[in-house]
Amino acid sequence: MSRRILKHSFTLLNVDHVQLNTKWNYKNVISPYFRLYLIDEGTGYVYNEKETWLLEPGYMYIIPSFTLCNLKCPAYMSQYFIHFFEDSPDGISLFHNNRTIIKIKAADMDITNYKRLLQINPFRKINRSDNPKVYEKNIFYKEYEELNNMQSDSAFLETQGIILQLLSRFLSSKMFLHKDVSAIPSKVVNLIGFIQLNLNRRLTVTNLAEKVNLHPDYFSRLFLQLTGERPLSYIHSKRIERAQYLITISDMPLAQIAEETGFDNLPYFSKVFKKKTSLTPGQYKQQNYSVNML
């Protein structure tokens, strides 16, 4: 387990301490990166169709990448936050078995870690807008990547260490449903990387099972144990994540995006997209376009 975790690295995007008001009210937020919150004053909410999480002082929250949610501050809230990408060579997230929002009690060390991360990364504030649809652009991601490249080795390692410390708090939470994957053949684990690199190709359960010399039914059960999803559902999730990214950063027609992400036709792409995000591709694209015109 430890070897797998230590393969992960994190690309820091933003870290800041902000005071929010009623303008912090955004719906259908689906970010390609992780969000970490620590609330020190006031209250807010993160919610979706099924659950609502109260953002309250003295608690930390994690929102995994590509988790659909709504953000709301009814009056006033003071918040530390961190945004970061997760990089994994095998394509398996630390949170692959629990892609949901988690709330835990903050400790003194957590507050110290947020303050220290802000201290050693002083140019990571979001000065443009607190609207996710404004600052979630590829051009800004490239700016943050350049800042990461300019970090000293000591600052880079300390940044990685702090993010790992904060993530460890959630991984040890009772709400984190860890599943033992030690009995799963490594060739099945390695197949995750193959899927990530071949999303635009035809991928079937039968073909994937053949690659690892397993019966399709047995392979499907192992895959479910590994990822929390059946193979086809997992492939659809990763294809839609890629589609969301392409819609956000490019002007590609939806039909081309459907082809680039391995869907045979636009109607099927639209059906799967709405199932995974609660929005049609057109609605998602218009939502991003409308904000960009502000």
pLDDT 10s digits, 90-117: 566 777 666 689 999 999 999 999 999 9
pTM of the predicted structure, to 2 decimals:
0.67
Query: Looking at residue 120, what is its pLDDT?
Result: 93
Query: Looking at residue 293, what is its pLDDT?
Result: 39
Residue-wise DSSP of 144-164: HHHHHHHS-HHHHHHHHHHHH
114 C-beta neighbours (distance < 10 Å), count:
24
What whole-number distance in Å separates Cα of residue 39 and Cα of residue 79?
5
Question: Is 62 or 68 the better-scoring residue by pLDDT?
Answer: 62
Reply yes or no on whether the pLDDT at 246 is more than 50.
Answer: yes
Contact present, 166 and 142 (Cβ < 8 Å): no
Query: Looking at residue 98, what is its pLDDT?
Result: 66
- Superfamily, domain 2-171: Jelly Rolls (2.60.120.10)
Upper half-sphere CA count for residue 206 (Cβ side, 13 Å): 1
What whole-number distance in Å separates Cα of residue 222 and Cα of residue 210?
14
The domain 186-292 having CATH identifier 1.10.10.60: the answer here is yes
Give Cβ neighbours of residue 230 (< 8 Å, ≥ 6 apart): 220, 223, 224
Reply yes or no on whether the pLDDT at 128 is more than 70.
Answer: no
Query: Looking at residue 105, what is its pLDDT?
Result: 95
What residue spans define the domains of the chain? 2-171, 186-292
pLDDT band at 6 (very low <50, low <70, confident <90, very high): low
Average pLDDT, the chain: 82
Backbone Cα Rg of the chain: 19
Upper half-sphere CA count for residue 128 (Cβ side, 13 Å): 13
Reply yes or no on whether the pLDDT at 226 is more than 80.
Answer: no
Tokens describing residue 200: 């635009």
Reply yes or no on whether the pLDDT at 187 is more than 80.
Answer: no
What whole-number distance in Å separates Cα of residue 90 and Cα of residue 196?
9
